[in-house]
Amino acid sequence: MILVTGATGQLGTAVVRQLLARTSAAQIAVLARDPGRAAGLEQQGVSVRPGEYADPGSLARAMKGVDRVLLIASSEFQQRVQQHQNVIDAARAAGVELFGFTSRSLRDMAAPGNPAMRDYAETEARIGASGLPAVIFRNALYLDTLPVSLGGPAVFSTGIRVPAGPGAVAYALRRELGEATANAMLGPPGGDRTYVLAAPRASTFDDVARALSEISGSPVAYTPVSDGDFVVHAIGQGIPEPMARYLVGFFADVRDHQLDETSTDLQELLGRAPASLKDGLAELFTPPGRG
């Protein structure tokens, strides 16, 4: 049986959807800190196990009868290394045959511009030290983050104004990352492996602007701006100031070429080419007049 943590979140939902398509619900368990949010999965026959990363006892209970664990990285940035350690320890005590972790694809994991990214290298090191048979998924930046970071549908009138310079990102759609991760977690156990789940080609913001122009039929321009101008512009578009300042860290990583590593691993695990930049953006953005 495979236990998926974070299954009430967006990536976890995509993972479980693919597991359900490929294996029996009786082989799937999910960890949920609010089991009510997983009621739909329970109705489909999935075993819902109450649990919280910060509560080792709940993790030990959740791992009963489990032989594989997928740890979806915690969204609680301040505490997440210890939270991840708790899940690693519980999986080790349960003697699982395969441990998966959703990490991040960064060219230099030890020195990201965005301090929140350091937790991924630390967690990978702790998994290595645990001796668990492990598969690491170094996920690209979600393409799904663009509607927020570009200021929503207003981008079609304002254009793209972000502090990314000529930097590029090998974006991936969250739903395809979930699908690929589920496929890998169902593979044969043993043999540690690190996948870089990213597009086969990195896209600049000029590429994003061109794709949005084609989707909308009207020109969308990319204007590189300074960090300060971005914060002012983002707040003007309704992005809360703390989020705008947090996004500055992401764009610093884009400028520094931290997020442009390409790979064919996503294609390998999907068994097909991932969605193109234009097709992915068309899923995420509704051009004016078509809502």
Ligand X SMILES: NC(=O)c1ccc[n+]([C@@H]2O[C@H](COP(=O)([O-])OP(=O)(O)OC[C@H]3O[C@@H](n4cnc5c(N)ncnc54)[C@H](OP(=O)(O)O)[C@@H]3O)[C@@H](O)[C@H]2O)c1
- Is 194 a binding residue for ligand X by CB under 6 A? The answer is no
- Is 54 a binding residue for ligand X by CB under 6 A? The answer is yes
d(CA 271, CA 201): 17
Strand 193-197 relative to strand 203-204, pairing: unpaired
Q: Which is nearer to ligand X, 105 or 216 (CB)?
A: 105
DSSP one-letter code for 238: T
**Shortest CB 52 distance to ligand X, Å:** 4
In this structure, how many other beta carbons lie within 10 angstroms of the beta carbon of residue 111?
A: 12
Please, are residues 253 and 259 in contact by the beta-carbon 8 Å criterion?
A: yes
Q: Which is nearer to ligand X, 181 or 216 (CB)?
A: 181
Helix pair angle (205-216, 277-284), 10° resolution: 60
CA angle at residue 258 from 213 to 140, to 5 degrees? 65
Alpha carbons within 13 angstroms on the beta-carbon side of residue 72 total 25
Interface residue with ligand X, options 3, 4, 12, 66 (CB under 6 A): 12
DSSP one-letter code for 34: S
Structure tokens at 211: 């794709």
**Shortest CB 55 distance to ligand X, Å:** 8
Q: In the block, which residue shows the tokens 């793209």?
A: 160
Residues 61-80 that bind ligand X (CB under 6 A): 72-76
Interface residue with ligand X, options 18, 19, 62, 83 (CB under 6 A): 83
**Shortest CB 140 distance to ligand X, Å:** 6
Q: Which is nearer to ligand X, 34 or 214 (CB)?
A: 34
d(CA 124, CA 137): 10
Residues 17-36 that bind ligand X (CB under 6 A): 33-34
- Is 101 a binding residue for ligand X by CB under 6 A? The answer is no
Q: Which is nearer to ligand X, 216 or 260 (CB)?
A: 260
- Is 103 a binding residue for ligand X by CB under 6 A? The answer is no
Per-residue mark of binding to ligand X, 114-153 (x: CB under 6 A): -------------------------x-xx--x--------
The size of the interface with ligand X (CB under 6 A), counted in residues, is 26
d(CA 2, CA 68): 5
d(CA 235, CA 239): 5
Q: Which is nearer to ligand X, 49 or 161 (CB)?
A: 49
Interface residues with ligand X (CB under 6 A)? 5-6, 8-12, 33-34, 37, 52-54, 72-76, 83, 102, 104, 139, 141-142, 145, 174
